Homo-oligomer: A and B are copies of this chain.
Amino acid sequence: MLKTRLDLDRIRTARRVIDPMFLDTPLFRCDALGRPLGCAVSIKLETANPVRSFKARGTELVASRLSDQGRAAAVCASAGNLGQALGWSGSRRGLDVTVVASRQAPAAKLDRIRALGAELELVDGDFEMARERAASIARQRGIRLVEDSRDIETCEGAATIGLELARQASSFDAVLIALGGGAMATGVGHVLKALAPGVEVICVQPHGAPAMTRSWHQRRVIATDSADTIADGVAGRYPIPAVLDDLLKVADDAVLVQEASIIAGMRMLLEHAGLVVEPSAALGVAAILEDPDRFADRHVVTIICGSNVDLNNYHQWVRP
């Protein structure tokens, strides 16, 4: 019996709370992408919604719960996508949302957080600095601190992707999941291990931000001093112990990829699938590029988790 912080019944119930706009996202085989990668590739597309990432699946649960509890405000630290999603879900339910982000976060993400009506506070330093500041705002104002991956709603929301994959799991062999804090990996992983145990759950993280992957391999929390990757969505340094515990139960592997592979992955997704994606969403393709023998002739699903990218950076990256 699979024991993690997640629960299948709660995840199924979550589907009734999340705005349907974020559910049942496209899942389709993309042979034009699979051909150069030497395997069958299916894309699970999480970007065709108002926040352009999967994160609203979780913030819908958070905001709905806060609203049920009569709470009026919430704060989160965000690399960009969680802030947009919480801004969207919060504004729909009359919640005041404060987002703390690093000044280094992509300008496009910051602009969109503001446009969603959230209060945006910028801090010097990286995502972990933003996390500290958000915690301090929550204490001062007595409001809910929303923490990605730590808060079970964020994992349960992401886990609804797993339900959608499990419906068609008989057709594929492995799923590649971008690994940051671990909400998506533990959520999707839990559902697949419960409903489709034959599917290999492979987490992918950049070499430049390897904390959770190293922790998974050593089976204990390994923090890192810095994070240096273009994949801003997964650039955490302090793995959360409870999330690592779950990840150890549901992931079959965790691999690291080079920045050059992430860029090559973004370029291939544009050229062969017509998709503009943020770097985190290209981690799966990067993993196939770095280890083609592992995936040869298998059917692999990669979750395209976000498309919030600064176009100036993007054009420089994908330029041939």
Contact = CB atoms under 8 A, between A and B. Distances in A.
Interface of A: 21, 24-32, 35, 43, 45, 47-50, 52, 112, 115-116, 270-271, 274-276, 307-309, 311
Contacts of A47: 274
A66 to B, nearest CB: 22
A129 B202 CA distance: 50
A14 B48 CA distance: 25
Given A28-B50, A48-B26, A112-B32, A274 B274 contact: no
A89 to B, nearest CB: 14
Contacts of A270: 276, 311
A47 B47 CA distance: 12
Contacts of A32: 112, 115
A28 B21 contact: yes
Nearest to A24: B24
Nearest to A26: B48
12 contacts: A21-B27, A28-B49, A30-B50, A31-B115, A45-B48, A47-B274, A48-B48, A270-B311, A271-B311, A274-B276, A274-B309, A276-B276
